[in-house]
Amino acid sequence: MATIQIAGKNIEVDEDGYLVNLEDWSEEVANSLAASEQVEMSPNHWEVVNFLREYYQEYKIAPMIRILTKEIGKKLGKDKGNTKYLYELYPGGPAKQACKIAGLPKPTGCV
């Protein structure tokens, strides 16, 4: 397990860079995780991350992709409520990259 330094704090991450302790998440941490993924966080990126976090806090799971695309469609416009747009924002994929930046658990199942 590796450690990264963000704003003077030591933060544990796993071999793929996901947070080990989900409480460690902060906006700074998100920005830094995004930078390591070469993702530049725009307001639209934040919409996705914020929704993922809200959903996770309520249900303790990441939303199904359809729920995410619908929500983004509502917030950012219908043309953006699809996986194509999500992959434009997060080329590494909403389940993997966006969840990582949002400080959600790594999707561990084989799907």
Partner 1 sequence: MGKKWKIKTSTPKLDELEKGPWPSFIKELKTLAERKPAVEHLLGQMEQSYETNTNYWTGTVLNLDGYGGGVIARYSDLAKKFPEVAQFHTIRVIEPSAFVYSTKALRELCDVSENHSAGILQLHGMTGDILMLGSTNESMHTAGEALMEKGWDIGGSGGALRTLACCIGPARCEMACYDTLEVTKRITDTYISQLHRPDLPYKFKFKLSGCANDCANSMQRSDMPIIGTWRDNIQVDHAEVAAFIAEHGVDFVVDNVITRCPTKCITLKNKKIEIDDKNCVHCMHCINVMHKALAPGKDKGVTILLGGKRTLKIGDTMGSVLVPFMKMETEEDNEKLIDLIARIWEFWGENGMEHERVGEFIERVGLGTFLEGVGIEPDPQMVKHPRTNSYIKFEEYTKPLMAGEASKSPLVTNKEVEGKETA
Partner 2 sequence: MATPGKKMAPRDNGAPDYKKYLHPLMVKNYGKWKYYEKVKPGVLKHVAHSGDVLYTVRAGSPRTLSVDTIRKVCDLADKHCQGFLRFTTRCNIEFQVTSAEAVEPLIKDINEILGFPVGGTGNSISNIIHTQGWMHCNLPGTDAAGSVKALMDTLYEDFINERLPQRVRISASCCQINCGGQSDIAINLQHHHPPKINHANMQICELPKTVAICPVAAIRPATVDGKDSLMVVDEKCMYCGACHGQCPSMEIRDPQTDSLAIWVGGKTASTRGGPSFMKLATFGLPNNPPRWPEVGDAVKKILDAYKESAKPYERIGEWIDRIGWKRFFEMTGFKFTKYHIDTYRYARTTYNMSTQVRL
Q: Does 87 help bind partner 2 (rule: CB under 8 A)?
A: yes
Of 63, 99, 65, 102, the C-alpha closest to 84 is: 65
User: Which of 18, 25, 51, 85 contacts partner 2 by CB under 8 A?
Assistant: 18
- Pick from 15, 23, 43, 57: which binds partner 1 (CB under 8 A)? 15
Give the whole-angstrom CA distance, residue 30 versus residue 91. 16
| Least distance CB 90 / partner 1 (angstroms) | 9
Q: Which of residues 23-82 bind partner 2 (CB under 8 A)?
A: 37-38, 59-62
Which residues of the chain form contacts with partner 2 (CB under 8 A)? 14, 18, 20-22, 37-38, 59-62, 87, 91, 104-110
